[in-house]
Structure 1
Amino acid sequence: MLPLFLLALALAADAFAVSIARGAAGPHSIARALETGLAFGAAQGIMPLLGWALGALFMAYIAAVDHWIAFGLLSFLGVRMLFAAFSEGDDDAAPEVAEAGRGSHVAVLLIAAFATSIDAAAAGLTLDLFGLPVWFSCAVIAGVTAAVCVPAYWFASRIGGKFGHMAEGAGGVVLVGLGAKILFEHMAWV
C-alpha cells in the first residue's frame, strides 16, 4: 500500500501545482475547489487505467511525445492566464459575460486535468507490480489527487482574491514553468 500511496502523491504533484495556480486566479468558492479536485482526481485515476489497458502496445509512441503535449497545453493555459492578468476591464465584466465564460472555465479545467495526467498513463504500466487490483490502484491515485487538489485550490483562492491580477499572472508563470519542467525532465532522459 505504501508504494502505491507514494506513486499517487508523485502523480498528484503537477495537479497540486496547477490547482494552486487556478485557485490564485479563480473565485473563492468551495464548488470550484471541489470541481477542481474532481476533475484532476478523475483524470489521474482514468489515465493510469488507460495506460495499463493499452500496455506496451502504444506506450512507446505516446512516451515519445507526451512531454511535448504537456508542455504545449500547460504553456497555452499559462500564457492565457498571463494575458488575462494584464488585460484591463476584467473586474467590471457584466454578469452575462461571466456566465458565458463558464464553458470556457470548464474547457480550461479539462485541458489542465488532461495535461497533468499524461504521465499517469505511463505509470499505469506499473500497476500490476503493486499486487493490488488495478481498479483499486486507480481509485487510490484518483482519491489522493482529489484530496490534495481541493485544499490547494481553496487556500490559493483565499490569497488570490487579495492580490487579484498579480496572483493570476503568477499562476500563469507557474503553469508555463511546470510545462517547461516536464519538457526538460523528459528531454534529459533522451
Structure 2
Amino acid sequence: MSPLSILLIGFAMSTDAFAAAIGKGAAMRKPRFPDALRAGLIFGVIEAITPIIGWLLGRAALQYVEAFDHWIAFGLLGALGVHMIINGIRPDDGDEDEDEDTRKHHGFWRLAVTGFATSIDAMAVGIGLAFLDVHIGVMALVIGLCTFTMVTAGVMLGRVLGNMVGKRAEIIGGIILIIIGATILYEHLSGAMA
C-alpha cells in the first residue's frame, strides 16, 4: 500500500471524529486550546488502538479467506464509505441540551465513549488491512495522528463552523474510503490477470 493511500485512510478514518469534534466545539461555551488538545489526544489514542484490534481479528481469520481477501477489503471499505456518506447526509437529531452542565457533557468518559463510537469504522478497516501488505503499526500511528490533528482542529473550529462542515467532512471521508477500496480491488484483479 502506498504512503499516499495510508495517509488518505488516516484522514478518512478521522473525518467522523472531526465531525463529532466540531459538534463538541460548537456545544462548548468557549473552547480553549488545552480542551481541544485533550479531546484530540483521547480520540487519537482510541482511534489508533481500534485498527490494531481489528487487524488481530483479521489475521486470525487470514488462512481461511486468503483467496478472496481483496474482496473483503473492498466490501468493508465500500460499506463503511456508504455508511459514512449516509450519516453525513442524514439530518442531526438535535439531542444536545443547552442547559446541560458543560463539564459533565465534555468529561473524560463522555469523550472516550464518543471516541470509541467514532472508531468502530477504524476497527473494521483494521480487519480489512489484515489481508493486505501493510504495517499495522504505521497505519495505526497515522490514523491516530490524523485523528488527533482533526479533532483538535474540529473542537477549535466548532464554534465558528458548526455542524454543517462536520457533516460534509464525513461525506468526503466516505467517498475516499470507497475509492481506496475500489483501488485495492483493481490492483489485486489486475495483478492476477498479469
TM-score, normalised relative to structure 1: 0.61
Match of 1:129 among 121, 129, 132: 132
Equivalent residues in 2 for 1:1-190, closer than 5 Å: 1-27=3-29, 28-55=31-58, 82-85=95-98, 90=99, 101=104, 105-125=107-127, 126=129, 129-132=132-135, 134-157=136-159, 159=160
Cα deviation for residue 136 of structure 1 reads 1.8
Change (3 A) 1:114 1:98: closer
Output the aligned Cα RMSD.
3.9
The residue identity in structure 2 corresponding to 1:145 is T
- State the distance in 1 between where 2:122 and 2:32 align: 28
Aligned length: 147
Cα deviation for residue 131 of structure 1 reads 3.6
- State the distance in 2 between where 1:149 and 1:18 align: 8
Structure 1 stretches lacking a partner, 5+ long: 161-166, 183-190
Cα deviation for residue 129 of structure 1 reads 2.7
Report if the CA contact (8 A) 1:20-1:153 is conserved: yes
- State the distance in 1 between where 2:7 and 2:139 align: 9
The residue identity in structure 2 corresponding to 1:51 is G
- State the distance in 2 between where 1:82 and 1:26 align: 15
Tell me the SS of whatever aligns to 1:84.
coil
Q: What's the CA shift string for 1:62-105, capped at 9, x where partnerless?
A: x8xxx9xx99xx9xxx76x63513xxxx3xx9xxx666x27x62
Structure 2 stretches lacking a partner, 5+ long: 62-71, 175-194
The residue identity in structure 2 corresponding to 1:33 is A
TM-score, normalised relative to structure 2: 0.60
- State the distance in 2 between where 1:106 and 1:33 align: 12
Report if the CA contact (8 A) 1:4-1:130 is conserved: no
- State the distance in 1 between where 2:134 and 2:146 align: 19
Report if the CA contact (8 A) 1:40-1:145 is conserved: yes
Q: Name the one with the larger helix percent.
A: 1
